[in-house]
Structure 1
Amino acid sequence: MIRFAVALWLGLSLPFAAAAIEVQEVTSPGGIHAWLVQEKSIPFVALQIDFKGGASLDRPGKRGAISLMTALLEEGSGDMDARAFATATEELAASISFDVGDDALSVSARFLNENRDQAVALLRQALTDPRFDADAIERVRSQILSMISSNLKDPQSIASRVFNKQAYGDHPYGSNESGTLESVGALDRQDLVQAHRDVLARDNVVVGAAGDISAEELGKLLDNLLGDLPETGAPQPKDTEIAMKGGVTVVPFDTPQSVALFGQQGIARDDPDFFAAFVMNHILGGSGFESRLMTEVREKRGLTYGIGTYLVPKEHAALLLGQVASSNDRMARTVEVIREEWARMARDGVSAQELEDAKTFLTGAYPLRFDGNGRIADILAGMQLTGLPLSYIDTRNDMVNAVTQEDIKRVAKRLLNLDTLNFVIVGEPEGMKSIN
């Protein structure tokens, strides 16, 4: 067990009160690893359990199986049906939730110490002995199919589907984790059992914990909770290159307002230039009303209500992604201004004042993320999922502060290329057509 002293902001007794806490690296007797913040002031424990791979581990032709399986984990297990499981959770004053995305299946659990054993037993049952009853499968399948049908008529969802296909091609990232009407409709119980085996395995798991529990207690809890899961799951997907080459794709849709996604190749989380790109993006489009794009597109020209850009460093590919909506008669001008700002950042970088303001915000906002046991557990699991060292909590703000104007100019020139900047626009934008 390794201990690190870390200064975090915790809103436990006083708002934004600073407290020195210890982050412990724990290995259970059975070999399961976790990071723990022990906080004895409240008799409450938060667990965040992430299984690497998530929906990207769907088997060929079975897209949506892991998403459907995940939704069924709280729909009955052991000798409990969905109603009995929900009642038991409520009676324990516990919270158990499951979610899945491209890179992880996430399990969040919150429970009082006095009910710890019963809550862990309930969660263990859900993870290791799901029922996958026929009526539950059909009920949840219907809900997912309804959502998929609705998304087929939603401009934002259409834009995401087209953009992701262009960006990631045949990689799992290139299709929605919920699947299609055809793929979800064809899934059977055995597909869900296989999906469960593929994802919920000990070699895929990372754990963050925070609250009134010792390292020894956590180790025993994890062996009890996860020890009966398969040792190995399905192989992780391979890395992929961003496939889109730039240009504009217009998807006709009868609506008075067009929506657009735009972006290009991003930067991996472990790239030496990541923090320079992180600060650059904050200034370009990631800082809300203070960003350049918001200033130029909304404040000066009134072309939109909102615009933003984001670094999306997924496990197997990285994007720099933006989104905007504008009336059909203004979308062409909106695209023009975005391209102008893309080019200006690549050519000139940022000013000293912009850099100072960005650093002040980014370093000041970071400690506020650690505002309770649940958030801390989530952060600890997320750091492990993305391969960050435990020391990152201490050094993150130093890495932000180390970014220079020269660093940003270098990374902007590297990333922001008008020839590969890609737009997918859904609507009826005046004067625009697909150019690829």
Structure 2
Amino acid sequence: MSAVTDISKKTRAETVQKIVTPLGIEAWLVEDYAVPLVAFDFAFKGGSAQDPDGLTGAGAMLAGLLDEGAGPYDSDAFHRALDDKAIEISFHAGHDNFHGELKTLARNTDAAFDLLRLCMIEPRLDGDAIERVRSQMVAGLRHELKDPNALAAKAWRTAAFPNHPYGRPTDGDLETIPAIGRADLVKLRERLFSRSNLKIGAVGAIDASKLAALIDKAFGNLPAAPSLNPVADITPQGNGERKVISVDVPQSTFRFSLPGIARHDKDFITGAVVNHVLGGGVFSARLFKEVREKRGLAYSVWTQLSANDHSALFAGGTSTKNERAGESLLVIEEEIAKIAHSGPTQDELEKAQKYMIGSYALRFDTSTKIAANLVSLQTDGYDVDYLDRRNELIAAVTLQDTKRVAKRLFEGGKLLVAVAGKPDGV
């Protein structure tokens, strides 16, 4: 094989090499020397759903601290080491996964993985860094106390997932963040980070043998397996419930939801097409036309069909003037009822398929996006062939499929609604 991989004539799946390191860590690699960069994305299964009871936000705090000093470097020295070689390393915690990203010039790959190894194996978690990150998180949470979008989202989440990790904010709250100590962070790190729950995607100017050696160097000293708490499956709650958070602002901000379709359900792709027709964030979507274009009720309105590891969700949102809040919600409910009754039209189906298939390439227009998508496929439980099958599955959706799945999603369902503002008629 030549030194430069010609990926222009391959399908997306064919560009991906599955490699297994000597220590047994699997990674997906797209080898490409067009630009002298390496993008490396990874995730540990677990995420903020593993935050200890009463310490919500611990995962997010840990994510904020891993690059705030490691090994021989305090926070300032670590960031100088990154800056000296233009290396980017960052971390964040989602509900189901704890993510990390690295980006480096190819010539600095060894140095970049040395620093990543320190983050993974030898984070300092110094007291001054903990207090600095804690203060930043508290400041953000205090700001959210006056943010209608944050308030509506929090009220919706709590009502949709009561007494469940998904009902807790990943960034914690003003009661839990002050209670998190260094020992809690150390214990969480020890439970989460391991070789067997690690998913990796890499893209760029690096070959398989070099990548395998660097992966084992960075992660090889982690435990073989994690110690994760079980997370129960949950159906989103709130059949017809209304949550109003009074905020003295001129607009009301909505979040609404219904139970969705699990990501590996045979109807998930069809559900995604139906959602695109209804409110998928494009000008042709029914809600955009009815809410914005025809009535001028809101600047934007959106819906999405999404799935976590333990729940499936149809959700949406909008913002509108307080005095038109009830009217806006009524229009949204009417459009959902219409699509439940009649489904999309043939023209709507064809436009949705064309857009969803055509725009898929935009998820792969940079190395960092490709690496992130490789990891997302793995954490979502898909094999590499999904890179090619996804568009084929969308193209195969029929009008009859969409009508059936629209009924499954929406018929008889009553929206859970959370709204922050001074809404009239809600």
Using structure 1 for the length normalisation, give the TM-score: 0.93
Match of 1:121 in 2: 114
Match of 1:15 in 2: none
Q: 2:65 aligns with which of 69, 72, 78?
A: 72
- Provide the C-alpha distance between the structure 2 equivalents of 1:128 and 1:386, rounded to a whole number of angstroms: 26
Please state whether the residue corresponding to 2:78 is helix, strand or coil. helix
Match of 1:44 in 2: 37
8 Å contact from structure 2 (residues 158, 167) kept in 1: yes
Query: Which residues in structure 2 correspond to 1:251-266 (within 5 Å)?
Result: 251-266=245-260
Please state whether the residue corresponding to 2:86 is helix, strand or coil. coil
8 Å contact from structure 1 (residues 56, 102) kept in 2: yes
Please state whether the residue corresponding to 2:15 is helix, strand or coil. strand
Match of 2:387 in 1: 393
Compute the displacement of 1:6 (Å): 11
- Provide the C-alpha distance between the structure 2 equivalents of 1:42 and 1:159, rounded to a whole number of angstroms: 43
8 Å contact from structure 1 (residues 285, 292) kept in 2: yes
Deviates more, 1:151-160 or 1:267-276: 151-160
Match of 1:187 in 2: 180
Q: 2:269 aligns with which of 269, 275, 281?
A: 275
After superposition, what is the alpha-carbon deviation per residue over 1:123-174, rounded to whole angstroms, capped at 9, x for unaligned? Answer: 1101111111111111110110111111122111111111111111111110
Compute the displacement of 1:405 (Å): 0.9
Q: 2:165 aligns with which of 157, 172, 175?
A: 172
Match of 1:14 in 2: none
Compute the displacement of 1:424 (Å): 1.0
8 Å contact from structure 1 (residues 339, 418) kept in 2: no
Match of 1:319 in 2: 313
8 Å contact from structure 1 (residues 275, 400) kept in 2: yes
Q: 1:414 aligns with which of 408, 414, 423?
A: 408
- Provide the C-alpha distance between the structure 1 equivalents of 2:107 and 2:281, rounded to a whole number of angstroms: 43
Compute the displacement of 1:369 (Å): 1.7
Match of 1:289 in 2: 283
**Is residue 2:358 matched to residue 1:364?**
yes
- Provide the C-alpha distance between the structure 2 equivalents of 1:429 and 1:109, rounded to a whole number of angstroms: 44
Percent identity, aligned pairs only? 40
8 Å contact from structure 1 (residues 7, 20) kept in 2: no
Match of 1:331 in 2: 325
One-letter amino acid matched to 1:319: L
| CA spacing shift, 1:6–1:301, aligned 2, 3 Å | farther
| CA spacing shift, 1:41–1:47, aligned 2, 3 Å | same
Compute the displacement of 1:428 (Å): 1.2
| CA spacing shift, 1:359–1:8, aligned 2, 3 Å | farther
- Provide the C-alpha distance between the structure 1 equivalents of 2:196 and 2:104, rounded to a whole number of angstroms: 25
Using structure 2 for the length normalisation, give the TM-score: 0.95
Compute the displacement of 1:420 (Å): 2.6
| CA spacing shift, 1:6–1:156, aligned 2, 3 Å | farther
One-letter amino acid matched to 1:256: P
Number of residue-to-residue matches in the alignment: 421
Compute the displacement of 1:224 (Å): 0.7
Match of 1:57 in 2: 50
Q: 2:27 aligns with which of 34, 50, 58?
A: 34
Match of 1:201 in 2: 194
Instruction: Considering fraction of residues, name the structure with more strand.
Output: 1
One-letter amino acid matched to 1:398: E
Match of 2:100 in 1: 107
- Provide the C-alpha distance between the structure 2 equivalents of 1:9 and 1:288, rounded to a whole number of angstroms: 31
| CA spacing shift, 1:240–1:367, aligned 2, 3 Å | same
One-letter amino acid matched to 2:72: D
8 Å contact from structure 1 (residues 128, 229) kept in 2: yes
8 Å contact from structure 2 (residues 279, 302) kept in 1: yes
**Is residue 2:235 matched to residue 1:241?**
yes
After superposition, what is the alpha-carbon deviation per residue over 1:182-207, rounded to whole angstroms, capped at 9, x for unaligned? Answer: 21111111011011112222122100
8 Å contact from structure 1 (residues 257, 327) kept in 2: yes
Compute the displacement of 1:61 (Å): 1.8
Match of 1:81 in 2: 74
8 Å contact from structure 2 (residues 13, 385) kept in 1: no
Please state whether the residue corresponding to 2:283 is helix, strand or coil. helix
One-letter amino acid matched to 1:194: K
Runs of 5+ consecutive residues of structure 2 not aligned to the other structure? none
8 Å contact from structure 2 (residues 13, 388) kept in 1: no
After superposition, what is the alpha-carbon deviation per residue over 1:51-107, rounded to whole angstroms, capped at 9, x for unaligned? Answer: 111111111222111111110011101111111111101111211111111121111
After superposition, what is the alpha-carbon deviation per residue over 1:211-261, rounded to whole angstroms, capped at 9, x for unaligned? Answer: 111112211111111101122223252322222222322222211111111
Please state whether the residue corresponding to 1:25 is helix, strand or coil. strand
Let me know the Cα RMSD of the aligned residues: 1.8
- Provide the C-alpha distance between the structure 2 equivalents of 1:300 and 1:6, rounded to a whole number of angstroms: 49
Compute the displacement of 1:330 (Å): 0.5
| CA spacing shift, 1:421–1:94, aligned 2, 3 Å | same
| CA spacing shift, 1:79–1:162, aligned 2, 3 Å | same
8 Å contact from structure 1 (residues 293, 341) kept in 2: yes
8 Å contact from structure 2 (residues 257, 416) kept in 1: yes
- Provide the C-alpha distance between the structure 2 equivalents of 1:382 and 1:300, rounded to a whole number of angstroms: 37
Compute the displacement of 1:20 (Å): 9.6
One-letter amino acid matched to 2:414: T
- Provide the C-alpha distance between the structure 1 equivalents of 2:409 and 2:48, rounded to a whole number of angstroms: 28
Match of 1:424 in 2: 418
One-letter amino acid matched to 1:285: G
| CA spacing shift, 1:110–1:37, aligned 2, 3 Å | same
8 Å contact from structure 2 (residues 12, 387) kept in 1: no
One-letter amino acid matched to 1:367: A
8 Å contact from structure 2 (residues 161, 236) kept in 1: yes
